[in-house]
Structure 1
Amino acid sequence: MTSSVIVTGGIPRPTRRERAARVRRRRRIAFGGLVLALALVVGLATSPAAEMLTWTVSRITQQMPGPGAAPVTSPAVAQSEHDAPEAPALPTSPSEPASPSEPAPPVEADPVTEIPSVDVPVVEAPAPEATVDEPADVIVEEPALTTREVQERLRDAGFLIGATDGTAGQQTVAAVMAFQRVNGLAVDGVVGPATTAALLAGTAEPVLAGGPADRIEVDLDRQLLHLVEAGTRTVTLQVSSGSGETYTNASGQVRARTPVGEFVVERRVHGVREAALGTLYDPLYFHRGFAIHGSGSVPAYPASHGCVRVSMADAAWLIQRVPDGMPVHLHGGKHVFTPSR
């Protein structure tokens, strides 16, 4: 039987099986080198595991044929686990030779750079919030009042007439505005924190100009009407007087102004009065066509053609309360005139 080794030019040519075995050995060498490098990086170069890896790589390197050496043929059938040669004892010290016949070259390891350990953060349950005392200058607002409670306080303070039904209608809004004006608050008809605090603390008493024991006093500067009976203020109402704007009537171009001075209630019209300049509700006339009357619009500023507007509910109450001949005193204001009679 002829040999399977082919000789070309005096140098034996390795067979396919020998070439495959050589490739496998190279792969094992590469793998062993990689494992050794990893062991050195993590600081295991002096441990028994690193020594074993070094010995294994050196043995594999020794078994690899050098240039010109005869190829080593692999058996056709791999040895079983029982037929495998006994593994040599591990070296007890890095200084001992890896092989009795040929010492392994010393492996010079690079200085080991310690890799900083990464601590995994431990997420703890949040601790309960500590109670912090509020600074002394923090003001805790009082709880809001209900509409009925607001009405009751306005009625007791002399700014609201009629039933306290818990409904914030035009009359209640007008009463809030009058209360705000007397107490030096922003006049918007809204019961906010400042208005609530004033209602809870009590109201300031309006300043009156004085006059007969029974009278209607209209403060045009502050847009307020005070009903005084037997020398005591009965109620203070929000009003809106002449705007000062120009408008046209039967006499031509005129300015919206309110008369000032001493007058009396001359006449009245119960219910609705349709006039050339608009609709009047329950008007109490005090000078010619000028009257105290109800209106659907009673803003916090002068807006009428010259009459004194009040809410429709207030006008309905006044016309039942005030007799003819009741003195009416109007004072102050910017858009006013004094009638010559």
Structure 2
Amino acid sequence: MRGIVALAVGCGLPLLATPPTKAASAKAVDTGTGPADTTPAETGPGDTTRTRTTRTGTVPAGTGPADTTRTRTTRTGTVPADTTRTGTGPAETTPTETTTARTAPAKAEMVVLRPGDRGANVLLLQRKLRRGGYYFGNVNGVYDDQTKFAVWAFQKKRRLRPQGAVGPGILRALERPARNRPLVPTGADNRVEIDLRNQLLTVYRQRRPVLISHMSTGAERSYCENGHCGNAVTPVGDFRVTKRSPGWSTGPLGAMYNSLYFVGGIAIHGSTKVPLTPASHGCVRIPLTTSVRLYRMVQVGEPVYVRGKAYTP
């Protein structure tokens, strides 16, 4: 063992434009008298407009030089180029259809879950956390404290700042396997690792992480409470579980739930208060529902590896 400053006696609660079409052949029509008239054909944005000119005069029908028809191309500047056209050209997609297809997924991106929320999205979050080994409470669609602690564990595992809000990015990340970084790569196949710096507890089975929990360890300060004085330090070193205590137990420094002692009076135990900062008298606090699962898994004699120095985010 190394780095044990002082051991607590039990632990307590805190501290487009379209190209124009080719113009058609000119067609001359010789009718009665009157000024020359120009009649425009139907036009549309981006289309070539053809005009037919009717010339008049006194030359008898069938004589005189052939009449010339001039064409003029007309374009509009204010109507979108991809407006539906008339004629024989291929059909074009209207901008309304494109916009609908693009904006529908964007609404789903706005879903953000927070503590206190209820519903199907919370239910999905809890299921994903359970599959990842972060959540062991009721899958009931209620974003309660136990769900929040599991979210914190996941965020810390992925090196993210722990917070209660869960957006689409977290939900997507839960589908991807995490890169595992064991504290003790050469440790026992079945073991408990306690990462003081990241305030994260991991249980291994056959060298695979199966339980990952947010935790709060020793506050690393001196204390005197109820006639007991000491240093609130979680010792660093290689230990083994020496004793198990089911259910609630109360000591001079507070209450503990499902305690697994690994050195003196220092234990891993469930607590109703597991803040983001180190706050205990030296014990390792974990969420209540997680402590139930942990107590069933870990037996006397199992290795407990504690590494790092407590870090306050």
Call closer, same or farther: CA 1:205–1:171 in 2, change over 3 Å: farther
**5 Å matches for 1:62-81?**
none
- Tell me which residue corresponds to 1:185: 160
Which amino acid letter does the alignment assign opposite residue 204 of structure 1?
A
Structure 2 distance, partners of 1:301, 1:198, is 25
Q: Is the 8 A contact 2:236 2:307 kept in 1?
A: yes
Where 1:325 maps in the other structure, the secondary structure is coil
Instruction: Give the counterpart of 1:204 among 159, 178, 185.
Output: 178
Q: Is the 8 A contact 2:153 2:212 kept in 1?
A: yes
Instruction: Give the counterpart of 2:306 among 330, 335, 339.
Output: 330
- Tell me which residue corresponds to 1:86: none
Instruction: Give the counterpart of 1:244 among 212, 215, 220.
Output: 220
- Tell me which residue corresponds to 1:214: 190
Q: Is the 8 A contact 1:161 1:235 kept in 2?
A: no
Number of residue equivalences: 203
Which amino acid letter does the alignment assign opposite residue 156 of structure 2?
R
The offset of 1:185, in angstroms, is: 2.1
Do structure 1's residue 156 and structure 2's residue 131 form an aligned pair? yes
The offset of 1:162, in angstroms, is: 4.9
Which of the pair is proportionally richer in helix?
1
Q: Is the 8 A contact 1:142 1:197 kept in 2?
A: no
**5 Å matches for 1:40-189?**
142=109, 144=111, 146-189=121-164
Where 1:259 maps in the other structure, the secondary structure is coil
Structure 1 distance, partners of 2:285, 2:264, is 16
Structure 2 distance, partners of 1:133, 1:151, is 34
The offset of 1:170, in angstroms, is: 2.7
- For residues 85-125 of structure 1, give each alpha carbon's deviation from its aligned partner in whole angstroms, at most 9, with x where no partner exists: xxxxxxxxxxxxxxxxxxxxxxxxxxxxxxxxxxxxxxxxx
Runs of 4 or more above 6 Å deviation: 130-135
Structure 1 distance, partners of 2:110, 2:180, is 27
Structure 1 range deviating more: 177-186 or 272-281: 177-186
Q: Which runs of 5+ in 1 are unaligned?
A: 1-129, 336-341
Q: Is the 8 A contact 1:148 1:164 kept in 2?
A: yes
Where 1:191 maps in the other structure, the secondary structure is coil
- Tell me which residue corresponds to 1:235: 211
- Tell me which residue corresponds to 2:271: 295
Q: Which has the higher contact order (CA 8 A, sep 6+)?
A: 2
TM-score, scaled relative to structure 1: 0.54
What is the RMSD of the two structures over their aligned residues, measured on CA atoms? 2.7
TM-score, scaled relative to structure 2: 0.59
Do structure 1's residue 224 and structure 2's residue 203 form an aligned pair? no
Q: Is the 8 A contact 1:188 1:300 kept in 2?
A: no
Instruction: Give the counterpart of 2:252 among 247, 271, 276.
Output: 276
- Tell me which residue corresponds to 1:267: 243
- For residues 138-157 of structure 1, give each alpha carbon's deviation from its aligned partner in whole angstroms, at most 9, with x where no partner exists: x8763637111001111222
The offset of 1:166, in angstroms, is: 2.0
Q: Quick one: percent identity of the two aligned structures?
A: 36
Where 1:271 maps in the other structure, the secondary structure is strand
Structure 2 distance, partners of 1:324, 1:141, is 48
Q: Is the 8 A contact 1:238 1:310 kept in 2?
A: yes
Q: Which has the larger radius of gyration?
A: 1
Structure 1 distance, partners of 2:253, 2:287, is 18
Where 1:284 maps in the other structure, the secondary structure is strand
